[in-house]
């Protein structure tokens, strides 16, 4: 056995003639140095772009939370100018959750069966970017409801589409960190949203437009202008990547096939679909993601409101939302790296969600006017809730019942985001503001501790499955990640 100049291991026959790698790819091996070089090449092409466009996705999804209180002292906030009450605001967010849940699976099915990922994700971006612009000219509750529903329709398939795309390129041990790099950009979106909100707050009245209208215009235009980047530069799947050599494609394919992973348009069997949808362990994954997302959505939509109740003006509150999001971003990357490095996603997520549960419990017990302590709790919560999401998604993709249902599992899992949105928007009523939002804090604390318990249970369940040699739905012997 010898290595060639590229670091590949060449098997030699008794005649000492190297076997043609193109014809005998099933016996080609690659050393770790070569694999890492290929992975770095993929990282540079795929991850930064996916992270950036998901940042835009989350920015456009949550900017309504910034607009809700922006310039409210002068009567120019989003709610005041559209004559909406806090109940109307909750209804608008609920409508988004309904659309997000209903269209998640169909959107991922379209991408798997009919459209290149770059074209499909680009189309979704263009659609919700235009709708975001529409908010800048919204005058009443009914217009806002329609726009928010349509944004839910077009955003539904975006993140599961990115997750599915990542599974085309990375092995199980590599996914959590890459998904974290993408998903953690939601934390940066929260930080950028706060900064943009702070800036446009001083533009209130410029050009005859309120500050919140400038917020929607700026963020909508940025999204629309970035669509060509996605269509032109976002990789689709390894087999059609012109920037990879045939040997690099082969290296990726061998690694993915060894784990029964990668892209396929094969139809799943009835058994594979049923196990993906209804197996107790998969339902546990979906439910845990739902409970964790209740916390995430609460922070996404109500952090500016919560911070404003800590004694800050509406403009300053925009800026004070930045530190929790930034800290959450840094911790997210560290947790995801450690979860992949030690192949222990369940325990890592359990520790993080327990931390966020403690933070919300402390907020419940603290007086409503304990501003500094409650702000510290918010940062503690950010260190637990944000970092949990990416290892949870990565763990799910490692343990789907079949490669052919990877997209379905990702879509169902992300569909719980819509349900969580519906729950989270009703647990922070404006009538609770003076008391420090006890209902929201109690619900989020309970949700965090539930997530912790489920993660620990799944960790030990997968250990038993490995011990018993449990195959997947297609009969393939698997090593289940835990």
Bigger pLDDT: 153 vs 25: 153
Residues 410-467: tens digit of each pLDDT:
888 888 888 888 898 889 888 888 888 899 999 999 999 999 999 999 999 999 999 9
At 461, which helix (H) or strand (E)? helix 438-467
pTM of this structure? 0.78
pLDDT at 272 over 80: yes
Q: How sure is the predictor about 130, in pLDDT bands with cuts at 50, 70 and 90?
A: very high
The per-residue pLDDT for 230 is 93
Q: How confident is the model at residue 191 (pLDDT cuts 50, 70, 90)?
A: confident
The pLDDT, as a whole number, for residue 318 is 66
**Cα gap 251→41, rounded to integer Å:** 12
Mean pLDDT of 298-310: 71
Classify residue 420: in a domain, yes or no: yes
The pLDDT of residue 293: 92
Beta bridge partners of 18: 12
pLDDT on residue 350: 95
> Does any domain span residue 305?
yes
Query: Looking at per-residue confidence, does 436 or 348 come out higher?
Result: 348
86 vs 437: CA distance, rounded Å: 14
Q: How many domains does the chain have?
A: 1
The CATH number covering residue 228 comes to: 1.20.1250.20
**Cβ contacts of 299 within 8 Å, gap of 6 or more:** 190, 324, 381, 382, 385, 386
Which of residues 104 and 287 earns the better pLDDT score? 287
Domain that holds residue 278: 31-467
The size of the chain, in residues, is 482
Residue 256, domain member (yes or no): yes
CB burial class (10 A; 0-12, 13-18, 19+) of residue 71? buried
In a domain, 479, yes or no: no
Q: What is the pLDDT of residue 255?
A: 80
Nearest in space to 345 (alpha carbons), one of 463, 169, 476 = 463
Confidence at 46, pLDDT banded by 50, 70, 90: very high
Among 424, 423, 412, smallest CA distance to 156 is for 412
Give the position of tokens 């343990």.
399
Q: Which residue has the tokens 């503001």?
A: 433
Determine which helix (DSSP H) or strand (DSSP E) holds 110, and give its type and residue range: helix 86-113
Of residues 301 and 386, more confidence is placed in 386
Q: Is residue 57 part of a domain?
A: yes
If one compares 167 and 279, the residue with the highest pLDDT of the two is 279
Domain membership of residue 4 (yes or no) is no
Q: So what's the pLDDT on residue 59?
A: 84
Q: What's the rounded Cα separation, in Å, for the pair 28 and 7?
A: 11
Phi, psi of 30 (to 5 degrees): -125, 135
- Three-state DSSP string of 185-212: HHHHHHHHHHHHHHHHHCCCCHHHCCHH
Strands 29-30 and 2-3: unpaired
**φ/ψ of residue 128, rounded to 5:** -75, -25
Domain membership flag for residue 14:
no
At 310, the pLDDT band (50, 70, 90 cuts) reads low
Integer Cα distance of 346 and 163 in angstroms:
19
Query: Are the C-beta atoms of 381 and 387 separated by less than 8 Å?
Result: no
Confirm whether 332 is domain-assigned.
yes
Cβ–Cβ < 8 Å for 289, 413: yes
């Amino acid at each position: 056995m010898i290595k060639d100049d590229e670091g590949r291991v060449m098997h030699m026959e008794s005649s000492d003639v190297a076997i043609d790698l193109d014809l005998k790819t099933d016996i080609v091996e690659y050393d770790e140095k070569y694999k890492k070089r290929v992975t770095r090449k993929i990282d540079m092409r795929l991850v930064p772009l996916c992270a950036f466009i998901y940042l835009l996705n989350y920015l456009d999804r949550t900017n309504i939370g910034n607009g809700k209180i922006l310039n409210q002292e002068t009567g120019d906030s989003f709610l005041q100018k559209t004559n909406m009450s806090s109940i109307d605001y909750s209804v608008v967010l609920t409508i988004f959750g309904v659309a997000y849940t209903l269209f998640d699976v169909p959107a991922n099915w379209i991408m798997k069966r009919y459209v290149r990922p770059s074209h499909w994700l680009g189309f979704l971006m263009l659609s919700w970017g235009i709708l975001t612009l529409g908010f800048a000219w919204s005058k009443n509750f009914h217009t806002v409801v329609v726009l928010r529903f349509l944004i839910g329709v077009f955003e539904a398939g975006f993140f599961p589409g990115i997750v599915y795309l990542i599974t085309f390129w990375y092995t199980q041990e590599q996914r959590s960190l890459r998904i974290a790099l993408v998903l953690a950009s939601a934390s940066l979106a929260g930080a950028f949203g706060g900064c943009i909100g702070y800036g446009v707050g001083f533009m209130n009245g410029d050009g005859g437009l309120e500050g919140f209208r400038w917020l929607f215009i700026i963020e909508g235009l940025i999204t629309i202008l970035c669509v060509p980047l996605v269509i032109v530069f976002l990789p689709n799947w390894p087999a059609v990547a012109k920037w990879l050599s045939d040997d690099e494609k082969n290296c990726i394919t061998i690694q993915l096939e060894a784990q029964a992973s990668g892209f396929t348009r094969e139809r799943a069997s009835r058994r594979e679909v049923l196990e993906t949808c209804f197996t107790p362990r998969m339902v546990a994954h979906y439910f845990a993601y739902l409970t964790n997302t209740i916390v995430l959505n609460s922070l996404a939509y109500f952090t500016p409101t919560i911070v404003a109740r800590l004694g800050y003006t509406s403009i300053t509150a925009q800026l004070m939302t930045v530190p929790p999001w930034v800290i959450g971003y840094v911790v997210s990357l560290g947790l995801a790296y450690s979860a992949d490095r030690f192949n222990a996603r369940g325990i890592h997520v359990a520790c993080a969600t327990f931390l966020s549960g403690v933070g919300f419990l402390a907020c419940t017990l603290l007086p409503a006017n304990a501003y500094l302590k409650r702000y510290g709790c918010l940062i503690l919560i950010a260190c637990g809730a944000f970092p949990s999401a990416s290892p949870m998604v990565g763990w799910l993709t490692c343990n789907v019942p079949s490669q052919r249902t990877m997209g379905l599992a990702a879509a169902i899992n992300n569909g719980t985001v819509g349900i969580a949105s519906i729950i989270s928007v009703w647990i922070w009523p404006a009538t609770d503001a003076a008391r420090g939002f006890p209902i929201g804090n109690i619900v989020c604390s309970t949700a965090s501790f539930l997530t912790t318990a489920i993660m620990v249970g799944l960790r030990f369940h997968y250990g038993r499955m490995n011990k018993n040699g449990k195959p997947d739905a297609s009969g393939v012997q698997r090593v289940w990640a835990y």
